[in-house]
């Protein structure tokens, strides 16, 4: 997005996320917010343009698509070994950078990654905290929990090949049209192949995939700005009201 500060009223205020780290870099400035859960361990990373004359990928993305989901990150213990596996299975990693022992990274292009940039990285630790967190007080007593990322795919088998067989997701549920994948580190991704003629299929269009929404458990969904109750008892914050990313809010179950 254009500015980190655009995201904080939602992710630090309404959802009471915990600031983890942030820093400045060429092309973009990353920051991370986490949401505690006894089983899940996922973060939201917010990027804003920085020194675009050195790297303009984020500037180009925002100019083309506007704010919204950009990539999914998966960490591996040995990136060089993972790159060999990717290539053996027909994937062509791009943007490979092995020069920093603290953070090595590569990417899979959305054309091969079900419509989303996939970052595969090797990290020696967490992102270093280079600056103090923003002074945005939470609006609720208990932080939300990020429990699921939902990604629509045109081909569920292709999604399984990438996210389960290559990236190590363990199937833990699903049906004809969807598959739930869990990672030992606490990540959870639901792949959904929408049935023809449904709103999801129309929204996906001719794309190979498209990130649909993030699922949070919260104490009181009614208290989240712009949340609209659905027939199934969940609440939804439309992407247009949340900087291009749709949220599904569920009452907390633990």
CA distances from 1 to 12, 133, 164, 182, 183 (A): 16, 18, 30, 28, 28
Could you identify the residue written with the tokens 């943007």? 95
Contacts of 138 (CB under 8 A, 6+ apart): 12, 13, 16
Whole-number Å distance between alpha carbons of 254 and 252? 6
Please check whether residue 69 is in contact with residue 54, taking contact to mean a CB–CB distance below 8 angstroms: no
pLDDT class for 130, splitting at 50, 70, 90? low
The model's pLDDT over 131-161, given as tens digits with 9 standing for 90+, comes to 678 889 999 999 999 999 999 999 999 999 9
pTM equals: 0.95
pLDDT in the model for residue 33: 95
Q: Where are the domains of the chain?
A: 145-251
Please check whether residue 137 is in contact with residue 18, taking contact to mean a CB–CB distance below 8 angstroms: no
What dihedral do alpha carbons 155, 157, 163, 167 form, nearest 10°? Answer: -140
Q: Which regions of 103-161 does DSSP assign to beta strands (E)?
A: 103-108, 117-123, 145-153
The model's pLDDT over 158-206, given as tens digits with 9 standing for 90+, comes to 999 999 999 999 999 989 999 999 999 999 999 999 999 999 999 999 9
3-class state of residue 159 by DSSP:
helix
For 252, the token pair is 């907390």
Which CATH class name applies to 145-251?
A: alpha beta
The rounded mean pLDDT for the chain is 94
Please check whether residue 87 is in contact with residue 65, taking contact to mean a CB–CB distance below 8 angstroms: no
């Amino acid at each position: 997005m254009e500015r980190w500060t655009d995201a904080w009223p939602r992710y630090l205020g309404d959802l009471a996320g915990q600031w983890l780290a942030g820093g400045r870099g060429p092309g973009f400035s990353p920051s991370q917010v986490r949401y505690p859960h006894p089983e899940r361990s996922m973060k939201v990373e917010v990027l804003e343009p920085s020194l675009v004359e050195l790297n303009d990928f984020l500037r180009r993305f925002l100019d083309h698509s506007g704010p919204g989901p950009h990539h999914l990150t998966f960490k591996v213990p040995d990136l060089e070994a993972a790159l060999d596996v990717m290539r053996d299975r027909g994937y062509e990693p791009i943007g490979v950078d092995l020069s920093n022992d603290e953070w090595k990274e590569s990417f899979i292009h959305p054309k091969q990654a079900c419509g989303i940039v996939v970052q595969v990285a090797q990290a020696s630790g967490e992102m270093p905290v280079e600056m103090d967190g923003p002074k945005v007080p939470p609006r609720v007593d208990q932080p939300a929990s990020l429990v699921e990322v939902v990604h629509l795919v045109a081909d569920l088998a292709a999604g399984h090949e990438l996210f389960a067989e290559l990236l190590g997701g363990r199937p833990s549920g699903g049906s004809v049209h969807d598959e739930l994948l869990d990672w030992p580190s606490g990540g959870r991704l639901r792949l959904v192949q929408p049935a023809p003629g449904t709103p999801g299929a129309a929204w996906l269009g001719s794309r190979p995939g498209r990130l649909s929404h993030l699922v949070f458990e919260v104490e009181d969904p009614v208290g989240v700005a712009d949340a609209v109750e659905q027939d199934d008892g969940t609440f939804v914050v439309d992407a247009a009201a949340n900087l291009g990313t749709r949220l599904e809010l569920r009452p907390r179950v633990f």
